Structure formats: structure tokens, C-alpha cells
Amino acid sequence: MLDRRSFIIRGTLATLAAGTIAPMAFARAATEQRFVFIIQRGAADGLGTVIPVGDPAFTAVRGAFAEDAASGAKLDNLFALHPAMSTSAELYRRRQALFVHAVASPYRDRSHFDGQNVLETGGVSAYQIRDGWLNRLLSLLPNDASRAIAVSATVPAALRGGHEVASYAPSVLPDASDDLLQRVTMLYQGDAQLHALWSEAMDTRQLAGDLADRSGREAAATGALAAQLLAPADGARIAMIETGGWDTHSAQRGRLANGLKNLDAMLAALQTGLGPSWQQTLVLVATEFGRTVVVNGTGGTDHGTGAAAMLFGGGVRGGRVVADWPGIAAGQLYEGRDLRPTFGLHDVITGALSEHFGLDAERAGAVLFPAVARRTPMSGLVA
């Protein structure tokens, strides 16, 4: 029998064992296809992620950053992948990862808040549209009585709209210290019931800690939890995961490497947790805009324009980088500082989702991105 005291203890132990997770949002639809949108808040450096080592100007404009490509996986004659993304490199080798470079939303003013709003709502300017393209996607999918769920303090803008979205905010508590855990162990030593519960929780905590090292544990736990909610036959079908820390104005090399390592751990946990359902899963990783080509005086980069988007999943037509490469020499840059975008992110999203869910691309584009005047959805991204 689970009395009140045991219930409180179990809840406390579950919190200690699980640690903290990144905010996530979930929606369910009556389809076997799954879709995960991972947003990189802060403007991730696409040039530092999918690295244009074959561009003649690369070494000169990137300086010490060029060293990061030396041990990264060679993708083709032009690009290499940052070495922190080992799982992603393996997925690329298995043709389950595809990168689209020199891509951007219609937004050009380099404000994080406005850029993220445009990315999430699908407008051409900030706050032009009130609901999010991910919420509007639900209107294109088979309907059932389920609701969307946001595991976050607030529902992300991409999931806000006419389709109901419930929210749930997990407790965000610091990890318990080893000293505290030892003291609680001693406290419960003489209580047969609580000692057994505590020992069970500590075993679970140890298993959770093995998912990744301390710096990547939160990301791996987030990916594992997303997989747990997506994998069941009656589980969620759409998930949004928010990641931060991509605004690398200074000391970028270490900060970007850590962020990419955590993202890679999240993808690894997501793939492992989904198991066979990975074949029906599409993962999109995108950011609000890119960063400047030239490194600044503090070893970082500033707000830019063109970026890189990433697609992962069992059905992705991967093993390639899709790029109409504009070059990064001084005379080739957007406004003399940024990677010039040659693809619209809305066309990547429309094309990938249409192929993944079997939708008419023209209709899907009109629903997802109604404010965009010219839509040319990409094709051949997903089997």
C-alpha cells in the first residue's frame, strides 16, 4: 500500500533521480509519422557546424576556428562536420542525416526575439502572425480527439494557435550534492520502508547518470524523454525541443563545441529511445539566423544572416549537403559581413514535411507560411 508518506518520498526521489530537462512541447496526431522540431535559440553558427573547409577564403576569414574542422568528419569536397557531432556524422554516413546550408527565414534585422518570432510563426516580419506554423501543421494531419501538450512553463510560439495545447512545467531544481545524498541515506538507514525506496531511487539516479557526462546529461535526458513520449503507438506524434546557449559573441570555440556535443547527445538518445520508430521520424534542427563570417576581437561572432539547417531520421535522403554555395570571400558576403542566404528556411520546412507526411506541397506551404509571397518547396529531402 502506498501511503501519503511513501507518495511524498517517491515524488521527491523521482525529482532527484531525473534532474532537470530542457523545455519541450508535444502534440499528438493520428499518424505513424513522427516529427521533432529542435530550435537553436540564440543564432547558432552554421559556418562552425557544417564547416566550408573547401571554400578558398575559409582559412583566412575564420582564423583559429579552422582548427575545429581538422578532426571533423569530411562530408564532401566542400564541407566538414564539427568534431563534437560524432553521432550526427554516423547518421550522415548511414544516409540518415542531411544538411542544408546558406539558409534563412525572411527576417533580416538580427534581433533574437524578432527573429525567433518570425521563425516560429512563419511570417515575413515579427509579430505579423499570431499563431505558430507547428500548430497550423496539425490542421493538415489526420484528426483525433487528442490535445497538444507543452512540457514547458509556457507554450512555445511555434505551437500556439487554434489547436488546443496544454502545458506542463517540470520542476527545475539544482542537482543534489553527494554530501546531501549521503546524509539522506544515513537518515533513512533505520527505516525499512524508506531505506528501500531511497535505494531504488539511487539505483535509478545512477542509471540516468550513465546516459552522458555531466555537461550533456540534461540534453540526453531530454532526447530520451521525447523518445519515450513519441515511440508508443498511441503516443505523441509532434514534439518541439528548445535549446539555448547559441549566442556566441565571445569564446565561441569552446561554447559552440559544448553546445554541439549536447545537441549530438540529444539526437543519440532520441534515436536510441525511438528504436524501430526512428524509421518514421523526421527531426529538423534550425535557428533564427546565422552569425558573422569574420571572427570578432573576443574570439566570437556576431549576429548574422545565413545559417545551416539539419534534417535527421530514418526516411531522410541523407548523406549529402544541399547548398547553392554563395562563398565567404569579402565581396560575396551579405551586407559585407554575413553568409548570403540562397535558400528559404520555409521552403526547406514545407518540402520536408510535405514529403514526410504525404501532403500536397502547395497546400501545405499556404497553410504553414501564408505570408510568404514566393514559395518554392524543396523536394527530394525525405523518402
The predicted-structure confidence for 136-163, as pLDDT tens digits, reads as follows: 998 998 876 455 566 566 789 999 998 8
Calculate mean pLDDT across residues 223-249.
88
- Give pLDDT, residue 313: 98
Give the model's confidence band at 207: pLDDT under 50 very low, under 70 low, under 90 confident, else very high. Answer: very low
Place of cell 550522415: 92
CA neighbor of 261 nearest in space, from 49, 79, 47, 46 = 49
The predicted-structure confidence for 330-348, as pLDDT tens digits, reads as follows: 999 999 999 999 999 999 9
Residue 68 to residues 170, 285, 379, Cα–Cα distance (Å): 36, 21, 32
Calculate mean pLDDT across residues 293-321.
97
Q: Is the pLDDT of residue 61 over 70?
A: yes
CA neighbor of 139 nearest in space, from 308, 370, 293, 314 = 370
Q: Is the pLDDT of residue 236 over 90?
A: no
- Give pLDDT, residue 155: 83
Strand spans (E) along 11-49: 24-27, 34-40
- Give pLDDT, residue 144: 64
CA neighbor of 87 nearest in space, from 214, 242, 246, 270 = 270
Q: Which DSSP state fits 338?
A: B
- The C-alpha atoms of residue 353 and residue 357 are separated, in whole angstroms, by 6
For the chain, which residues make up each domain, given as ranges? Answer: 4-368
Q: Is the pLDDT of residue 176 over 70?
A: no
- Give pLDDT, residue 366: 97
Give me the amino acid identity at 277.
S
- Give pLDDT, residue 203: 63
Q: What is the mean pLDDT of the chain?
A: 86
Cβ-Cβ contacts under 8 Å for 314 (sequence gap 6 or more): 96, 278, 279, 280, 281
Residue 155 · residue 165 · CB < 8 Å: yes
Q: Is the pLDDT of residue 85 over 70?
A: yes
For the record, the C-alpha cell of 234 comes out as 498511441
Q: Is the pLDDT of residue 90 over 80?
A: yes
Q: Is the pLDDT of residue 97 over 90?
A: yes
Q: Is the pLDDT of residue 190 over 50?
A: yes
What CATH number does the domain located at 4-368 have?
3.40.720
Residue 23 · residue 153 · CB < 8 Å: yes
For the record, the C-alpha cell of 286 comes out as 534550425
CA neighbor of 354 nearest in space, from 98, 141, 131 = 141
The predicted-structure confidence for 101-143, as pLDDT tens digits, reads as follows: 999 999 999 999 999 999 999 999 999 999 999 999 989 988 7
For the record, the C-alpha cell of 135 comes out as 500548430
Q: Is the pLDDT of residue 253 over 60?
A: yes
Give the model's confidence band at 226: pLDDT under 50 very low, under 70 low, under 90 confident, else very high. Answer: confident
The predicted-structure confidence for 340-371, as pLDDT tens digits, reads as follows: 999 999 999 999 999 999 999 999 999 999 99
pLDDT over 70, % of the chain = 81
∠142-146-150 over CA atoms, to 5°? 110
